[in-house]
Chain A
Amino acid sequence: GENVEQHPSTLSVQEGDSAVIKCTYSDSASNYFPWYKQELGKRPQLIIDIRSNVGEKKDQRIAVTLNKTAKHFSLHITETQPEDSAVYFCAAQAAGNKLTFGGGTRVLVKP
């Protein structure tokens, strides 16, 4: 089955700096890669996603890149703000089946 590895597990950045989170996946059939943000005590919420026919996608301060050959994808947050502090999860999905999640990255943005 699919296995998703996520790094780093914690990330501390200064407000205004960039944050990068990296994930690798094992199943070459995976074709959908969402990123979720989870604040303490709340549900995971989608912040950006990418499909396998696209190499990069950007939405304001957030961007995701996908390298299908290497089976890795990354989340980039620019100009970080205190409200970006949360746990971020990457996930991979093949053919509309289950989402397999990474272990999460706790991001702390220091003012």
Chain B
Amino acid sequence: EADIYQTPRYLVIGTGKKITLECSQTMGHDKMYWYQQDPGMELHLIHYSYGVNSTEKGDLSSESTVSRIRTEHFPLTLESARPSHTSQYLCASSESLSHEQYFGPGTRLTVT
């Protein structure tokens, strides 16, 4: 059973606010990922990390930033939220030599 957590689950916030989406996993996985998904669309990778102090931008350009100071923690930050950031954000993790990714429950973000 995968143990990966995301908070908050739902967030409604006004334009211009700074937000941080939290993601934590207790499996000791080295690799972690952030995806963005809109209804009826594929999951788009926006950030990934292969270990502490390693972060890379994904295939989809995003104004968000991430950090990986601890193995278990991979927060995503938006300095100034805009309506175009409204989406579902999914965090995932995997073992170093595995293709299988375990997903958290997601954060549904709405920017008004």
Chains A and B come from one and the same complex = no
Q: Which of B's residues lie within 8 Å of A, judged by CB?
A: none
Q: Which of A's residues lie within 8 Å of B, judged by CB?
A: none
